[in-house]
Structure 1
């Protein structure tokens, strides 16, 4: 799948995507699952260097990222970070942000978790329909999807007016149960009982509990406990 970098809309792929009605759907969380670390922190760091985001936003994102990686994050904490990022991006053009996200995504290739990169390639080669599903900004998830060859990108959308971000959310925050809402909005009704999902956090339990094959990747403390109790596979590096 490729994307229109001016409008953010998906455009016709060069190679046809697998048929959603017949292919297995594979849902892949991004931060600390597909990647080692946070894509959002990487993006904020670039925006700070460009003078578009205050340095305190980066510091808060880094600190909360460390806490998240060890203990998990509450819905309130995650929402607060995203609100700060959206407000900081107010006035930024869609095209301008797209240029930043493309550069960040290219750099993040070095942070791909090797085991997940191999699994992703196997899923794609097997004809599965691969979706990157993340709380990160939609444009960044799209850029990462192009880097790894995923068929769809579903992230948090910032509201756009006259080609510029308004600082407000557009639709559901793609986090927790909001991931299910955003997923259904993006790809329509799909039988998730036949789907596979990879995630690292207890915040992704709504997604993991909805699929037939949930897999915990380097899970936080809460998810590790749930996975052990329910007999879900756990991938550790």
Structure 2
């Protein structure tokens, strides 16, 4: 066997064509009997935080307020049902990024998800993709229920980079032979960490950086009409 190589993938907007956190929140609120305006209100509050310049780390924390009091088993069950619905509708995955992931798998590389999303939501995605590990945000669960808080800082920004370095060390992989995939400027620390980086999608600021650094570019897959509701 040759030296270990690892491909690290952001999920939302990189492997997927939309933000799974919001797609699931829409599904979750409807499935638990909330009116449609509940999702719109939650989404607008998070958008307002972003518009005010509040860092993505903090908007990620705020997202999990929506799960406060929910039974962890119920959230996991609904996440699996949500994912099956996404597969049924089609257009959920970015075929360009998934094709790259499959190529890494065929080459014998480890494939690892590094995401600001959370375990219940990522488990069916990781199973379907056949990836090796998942590193993500950890919502706090006590007595089987979400508290609305986090157990550790969200898996965003520099924390992704630190996690990639730790993972490479654990697997005794040369970070220079590893590859990172991301779609947002918050992925830059991770993209800078590995020897190779790939930018997915149309983030203009990130694409300019990629062009300057000679990083590979992959296009964003177009959203199908049925995917516009959670935008």
Fold equivalence (TM over 0.5): yes
> For the residues of structure 2 that align with 1:52 and 1:82, how far apart are their CA atoms?
24
Structure 2 counterparts to residues 107-186 of structure 1, below 5 A: 107-109=85-87, 110=90, 111-183=92-164
Structure 2 counterparts to residues 223-234 of structure 1, below 5 A: 223-234=206-217
User: Is 1:172–1:182's contact at 8 Å kept on the other side of the alignment?
Assistant: no
How many pairs align?
Answer: 210
Q: TM-score, normalised by structure 1?
A: 0.78
Over the aligned positions, Cα root-mean-square deviation in angstroms equals 2.6
Deviation of the 1:191 alpha carbon: 3.4
Paired position in structure 2 for 1:28:
9
Deviation of the 1:29 alpha carbon: 1.0
Paired position in structure 2 for 1:106:
84
Q: TM-score, normalised by structure 2?
A: 0.80
Q: Taking CA–CA contacts closer than 8 Å with sequence separation of 6 or more, which of the two structures ends up with the larger relative contact order?
A: 2
CA deviations over 1:181-232 (Å, ceiling 9, x no partner): 4456677645322111111111111000000110111141211111111111
Paired position in structure 1 for 2:225:
none
Is 1:206 the equivalent of 2:189?
A: yes
Deviation of the 1:138 alpha carbon: 2.5
User: Is 1:105–1:147's contact at 8 Å kept on the other side of the alignment?
Assistant: no
> For the residues of structure 1 that align with 2:73 and 2:57, how far apart are their CA atoms?
25
CA deviations over 1:28-67 (Å, ceiling 9, x no partner): 1111111111111111101110237733113445x57xx8
Which runs of 4 or more aligned residues in structure 1 lie more than 3 Å from their structure 2 counterparts after TM superposition?
51-54, 58-61, 181-191
> For the residues of structure 1 that align with 2:134 and 2:215, how far apart are their CA atoms?
25
- 1:84 aligned counterpart, secondary structure: helix
